[in-house]
């Protein structure tokens, strides 16, 4: 043990020195009390990195990656740390690369509806920058005021309005990233399509396991002429679920269609009382339509008919922009609002066929009863992307283990319904052991063969996505020189 500790300490000193020489003393942190804040993201996972660096540009990222490659040290990209699956955590130690300084909007081409941005640009900042010209960036995660474009690319993030507009991969035309040997690769570009394999599409959702993103070419969309925001409340969850399918069956695809159950409504009402959300109903649907008045009037009328058919207790339309903003503030504050009713929460991110929402929510209620864990539901109902929030108190002995087991049961329900393990949060550390619920060993082996093409030494974000028990041990052995790797 003493020898291992000594070897590790010398390695950390050498690593810190190399990083400081590469990008400057001011942009490298290695002291435990400095890097401790980067041991966390928005998930329940945590692990302490050996170093945190703050590159200014692509050249800095290249320098850091080359050092990691030479020393056999893991390297983990990090945007704002708002992720909910442990994706930005140094599961095996190593270097966390924060893109917070790489926050420049480099080019905006309004005629062709494109923008070139660095990976650390905050999602909402891009829309704010282009709003005066009548454009915005469509993917809108609830954390969009803080999360970055690079982080969105890593998890292929979505958001409420992606029901109509699509998720991140539908709005990323090109990605510049740094490979393990320090080369700069550009996948895709400003054109709508490129011959050959869609490497930009492959990179979206790869959770930092293929390289470190430094820039992106993204699509801008025109701000709609008008929006209409509707809120409908229901006495039973089954009624609201049936209304979701009824609206789509009527040929209407709203820009957004969100569901919140009574537990989440009670929390939001305490956190954002001005949103005036009902707390005496089992569920509400928040729906937004985009277009011109000639389109919106018949769509609203058709949706009202669907609501009436499924027993909506009340339907209201936001009277003005202020009321609309308050309704969305309530919805996008739902996760944070849970602190009003529970010390901790654990969020899942399953995806199910839209028509199975009623049955799946009933089964999730059964899981809640079995584990005696309260589960709140607030989610993207239009595309079946569930976000069950499992409420618990981490101060209770064994509470975290029990809630994680409960979360696995929730994912099993989603898988049994023909769904998937993640719609936008990624697999990360939290769900890699659940991959077997939907993928066989052969599937996972083939995925890892692809990863090895870009990341042959498993230094980019190890310990993520795949349910391997040896990856971190292998990486740490490389760092300590246990193997005969050519880059000890």
Examine the domain organization and report whether 260 and 304 are in the same domain. Answer: yes
Please say if the pLDDT value at position 76 is more than 70: yes
Write down which residue in 99, 133, 156 finishes a domain: 99
Residue 126, in any domain of the structure: no
Q: What pLDDT, on a 0 to 100 scale, did the predictor assign at position 7?
A: 35
Q: In percent, how much of the chain has pLDDT > 70?
A: 94
What tens digit of pLDDT does each residue of 78-131 get?
999 999 999 999 999 999 999 999 999 999 999 999 999 999 999 999 999 999
Residue 272, in any domain of the structure: yes
Q: What is the Cα–Cα distance from 39 to 428, expressed in whole angstroms?
A: 14
Write down which residue in 284, 302, 333 finishes a domain: 333
The pTM (predicted TM-score) of the whole model is 0.93
Examine the domain organization and report whether 291 and 384 are in the same domain. Answer: no
What tens digit of pLDDT does each residue of 217-272 get?
999 999 999 999 999 999 999 999 999 999 999 999 999 999 999 999 999 999 99
Q: What pLDDT, on a 0 to 100 scale, did the predictor assign at position 3?
A: 34
Residue 248, in any domain of the structure: yes
What tens digit of pLDDT does each residue of 267-292 get?
999 999 999 999 999 999 999 999 99
Please say if the pLDDT value at position 478 is more than 60: no
Please say if the pLDDT value at position 377 is more than 80: yes
Residue 355, in any domain of the structure: yes
Please say if the pLDDT value at position 434 is more than 80: yes
How many domains are contained in the chain? 3
Please say if the pLDDT value at position 333 is more than 90: yes
What tens digit of pLDDT does each residue of 175-219 get?
999 999 999 999 999 988 888 999 999 999 999 999 999 999 999
Please say if the pLDDT value at position 421 is more than 60: yes
Kindly indicate the confidence band of residue 401, based on its pLDDT and cuts at 50, 70 and 90: very high
The enclosing domain of 30 has a CATH number of 3.30.43.10
Q: What pLDDT, on a 0 to 100 scale, did the predictor assign at position 406?
A: 98
Examine the domain organization and report whether 261 and 358 are in the same domain. Answer: no
Examine the domain organization and report whether 15 and 53 are in the same domain. Answer: yes
Q: Please give the residue range of the domain that contains residue 321.
A: 226-333
């Amino acid at each position: 043990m003493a020898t291992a500790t000594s070897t590790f300490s010398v390695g950390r000193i050498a690593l810190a020195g190399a990083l400081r020489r590469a990008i400057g003393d001011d942009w490298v942190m290695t002291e435990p009390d400095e890097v401790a804040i980067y041991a966390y993201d928005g998930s329940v996972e945590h692990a302490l990195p050996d170093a945190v660096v703050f590159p200014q540009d692509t050249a800095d990222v290249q320098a850091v990656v080359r050092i990691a490659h030479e020393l056999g040290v893991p390297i983990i990209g990090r945007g704002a740390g708002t992720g909910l699956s442990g994706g930005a955590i140094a599961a095996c130690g190593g270097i966390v690369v924060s893109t917070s300084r790489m926050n420049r909007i480099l080019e905006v081409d309004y005629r062709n509806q494109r923008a070139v941005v660095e990976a650390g640009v905050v999602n909402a900042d891009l829309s704010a920058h282009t709003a005066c010209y009548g454009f915005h960036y469509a993917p809108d995660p609830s954390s969009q005021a803080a999360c970055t474009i690079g982080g969105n690319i890593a998890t292929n993030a979505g958001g409420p309005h992606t029901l109509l507009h699509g998720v991140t991969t539908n709005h990323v035309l090109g990605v510049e990233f740094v490979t393990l040997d320090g080369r700069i690769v550009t996948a895709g570009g400003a054109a709508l399509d490129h011959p050959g394999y869609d490497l930009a599409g492959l990179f979206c959702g790869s959770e930092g396991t293929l390289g470190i993103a430094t820039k992106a070419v993204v699509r801008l969309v025109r701000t709609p002429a008008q929006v209409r925001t509707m809120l409908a409340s229901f006495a039973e969850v089954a009624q609201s679920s049936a209304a979701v399918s009824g609206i789509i069956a009527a040929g209407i695809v709203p820009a957004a269609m969100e569901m919140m159950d009574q537990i989440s409504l009670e929390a939001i009402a305490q956190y954002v009382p001005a949103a005036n959300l009902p707390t005496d109903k089992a569920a509400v649907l928040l729906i937004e339509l985009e277009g011109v008045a000639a389109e919106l009037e018949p769509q609203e009328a058709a949706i009202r008919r669907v609501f009436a058919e499924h027993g909506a207790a009340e339907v209201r339309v936001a009277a003005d922009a202020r009321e609309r903003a308050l309704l969305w503030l309530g919805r996008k504050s739902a996760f944070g609002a849970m602190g009003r009713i529970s010390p901790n929460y654990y969020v899942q991110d399953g995806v199910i066929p839209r028509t199975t929402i009623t049955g799946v929510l009933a089964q999730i209620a059964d899981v809640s009863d079995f584990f005696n864990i309260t589960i709140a539901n607030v989610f993207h109902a239009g595309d079946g992307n569930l976000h069950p929030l499992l409420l618990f108190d981490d101060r209770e002995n064994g509470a975290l283990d029990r809630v994680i087991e409960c979360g696995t049961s929730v994912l099993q329900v989603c898988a049994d319904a023909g769904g998937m393990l993640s719609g936008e949060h990624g697999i990360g550390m939290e769900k890699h052991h659940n991959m077997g619920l939907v993928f066989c060993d052969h599937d996972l082996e083939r995925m890892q063969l692809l990863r090895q093409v870009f990341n042959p030494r498993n230094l980019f974000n190890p310990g993520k996505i795949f349910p391997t028990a040896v990856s971190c041990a292998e990486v740490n052995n490389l760092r300590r020189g246990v193997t005969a790797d050519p880059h000890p």
